[in-house]
């Protein structure tokens, strides 16, 4: 099986966010399973991703018979495959409509156009969760097959390194992107209320202004220690040596809050304080490895954090880490994709 994975930006450009973590994990997973996989992206020069996966220019899609099937990764990826004529599987993170999510207003017209193209072009659509599956069906009907492939986590993580924090520092870690002005507000408030007891650290990028926030609403409080984006390997020691991981909702709607960082927190043995209505909270409830707080309730966020700091869940740590590796690894997600691709290609062959 020859699989092309179409990515909407340069996959070789550092630093790395969850989009590149997912791309590397899925593409490397294909190759380890014996699938001939390549990444196709708008790059000027070809290269190698993760030391194994070839990265090709968009012109590779024009070569007849080069790929048996193509997977697009995000909304914008569908715009790059105009000249490809084979079967397509399209994955998107959230299904937008003419009103929701509010934070997507600057991009709404383009995202809706991409969804219409996926409806007309794809052989199947891949979504993270049932909430977005129901939204897709309500807007576009049930003709296009839908497969759920949630975010994963590594089956194996790097060996423990040095503590990146100050000696004796109690750390509340926010990992990943701040993708809405309200998230910046919540993080700033938590840092102010926890000062002198727990220090708030950010490992990731503040993208809040991209989603309609005014500059003054997107500024981090100086109490937040901002490390910026780090490599995937470096992140694991920030998780290991933190005391509590924090997950914040982008907005009030569940379909817009499938938060991948929770899987990494749990995989690294870090208990989580998480906001409603985050969908991945199900994993916290299932493992008992953390606490949930009501949407927008900073005081509850703070009290839950202090509870976990004062009463660590150390006895559960190894069991939770093993559960995540066994049940929610990227390898499991790759297996789902391979079954889907095989089914589509078999159906196409039968139709000949």
Same domain, 70 and 206: no
For residues 36-48, b (16+ Cβ closer than 10 Å) or e, as one string?
A: ebbbbbebeeeee
Same domain, 229 and 319: yes
Does residue 212 form part of some domain? yes
pLDDT of residue 350: 63
CA angle, residues 195, 197, 202, in degrees to nearest 5: 60
Same domain, 49 and 183: no
Does residue 351 form part of some domain? no
Does residue 166 form part of some domain? no
Same domain, 147 and 184: no
Does residue 164 form part of some domain? no
Q: Are 302 and 318 contacting, i.e. CB atoms less than 8 angstroms apart?
A: no
Same domain, 145 and 188: no
Same domain, 135 and 193: no
Does residue 161 form part of some domain? no
- The number of distinct structural domains making up the chain is 2
pLDDT of residue 352: 40
Does residue 160 form part of some domain? no
Same domain, 120 and 258: no
Gap between the Cα atoms of 288 and 63, Å rounded = 51
pLDDT of residue 210: 76
Same domain, 145 and 253: no
Q: Are 199 and 163 contacting, i.e. CB atoms less than 8 angstroms apart?
A: no
pLDDT of residue 14: 78
- pTM to 2 decimal places: 0.94
Kindly report the CATH number assigned to the domain that includes residue 237.
3.40.50.2000
pLDDT of residue 154: 97
pLDDT of residue 48: 96
Q: In this structure, what is the dihedral angle of CA atoms 106, 107, 110, 113, given to the nearest 10 degrees? A: -100
Same domain, 336 and 214: no
Same domain, 188 and 275: yes
What tens-digit pLDDT sequence spans the chain (352 residues)? 999 999 999 999 877 788 999 999 999 999 999 999 999 999 999 999 989 999 999 999 999 999 999 999 999 999 999 989 999 999 999 999 999 999 999 999 999 999 999 999 999 999 999 999 999 999 999 999 999 999 999 999 999 999 999 999 999 999 999 999 999 999 999 999 999 999 999 999 998 887 766 777 789 999 999 999 999 999 999 999 999 999 999 999 999 999 999 999 999 999 999 999 999 999 999 999 999 999 999 999 999 999 999 999 999 999 999 999 999 999 999 999 999 999 999 987 665 4
DSSP for 54-97, please give it: EEE-GGGGGSTTS-SEEEE-SGGGGGG-TT--S-EEEE-S----
Does residue 280 form part of some domain? yes
Longest distance between any two alpha carbons in the chain, whole Å: 69
Same domain, 257 and 142: no
Domain limits for position 14: 2-152+329-346
Q: DSSP letter at 159?
A: P
Same domain, 65 and 99: yes
Does residue 352 form part of some domain? no
């Amino acid at each position: 099986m020859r699989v092309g994975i179409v990515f909407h930006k340069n996959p070789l450009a550092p630093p790395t966010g969850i989009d590149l973590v997912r791309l590397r994990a899925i593409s490397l997973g294909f190759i380890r399973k014996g699938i001939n996989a390549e990444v196709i992206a708008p790059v000027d020069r070809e290269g190698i991703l993760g030391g194994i996966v070839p990265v090709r220019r968009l012109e590779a899609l024009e070569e007849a018979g080069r790929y048996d099937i193509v997977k697009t990764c995000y909304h914008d990826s569908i715009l790059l495959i105009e000249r490809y004529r084979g079967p397509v599987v399209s994955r998107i993170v959230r299904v937008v409509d003419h009103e929701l999510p509010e934070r997507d207003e600057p991009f709404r017209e383009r995202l809706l156009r991409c969804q219409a193209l996926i409806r007309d072009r794809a052989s199947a659509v891949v979504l993270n969760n049932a909430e977005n599956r129901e939204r897709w069906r309500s807007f576009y009907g049930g003709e296009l097959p839908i497969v759920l492939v949630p975010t994963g986590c590594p089956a194996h993580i790097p060996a423990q390194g040095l503590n990146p924090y100050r000696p004796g520092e109690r750390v509340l870690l926010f990992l990943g992107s701040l993708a809405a002005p309200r998230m910046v507000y919540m993080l700033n408030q938590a840092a102010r209320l926890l000062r002198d007891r727990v220090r708030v650290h950010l490992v990731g990028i503040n993208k809040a202004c991209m989603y309609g926030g005014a500059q003054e609403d997107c500024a981090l409080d100086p109490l937040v220690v901002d490390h910026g984006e780090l490599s995937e390997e470096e992140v694991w020691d920030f998780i290991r040596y933190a005391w509590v991981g924090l997950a914040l909702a982008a907005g009030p709607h569940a379909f817009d809050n499938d938060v991948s960082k929770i899987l990494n927190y749990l995989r690294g043995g870090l208990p989580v304080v998480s906001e409603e209505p985050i969908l991945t909270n199900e994993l916290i409830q299932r493992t008992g490895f953390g606490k949930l707080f009501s949407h927008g309730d900073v005081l509850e966020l703070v009290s839950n954090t202090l509870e976990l700091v004062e009463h660590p869940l150390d006895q559960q740590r190894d069991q939770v880490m093993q559960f995540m590796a066994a049940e929610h690894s990227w390898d499991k997600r790759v297996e789902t994709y391979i079954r889907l691709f095989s089914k589509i290609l078999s159906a196409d062959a039968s139709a000949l």
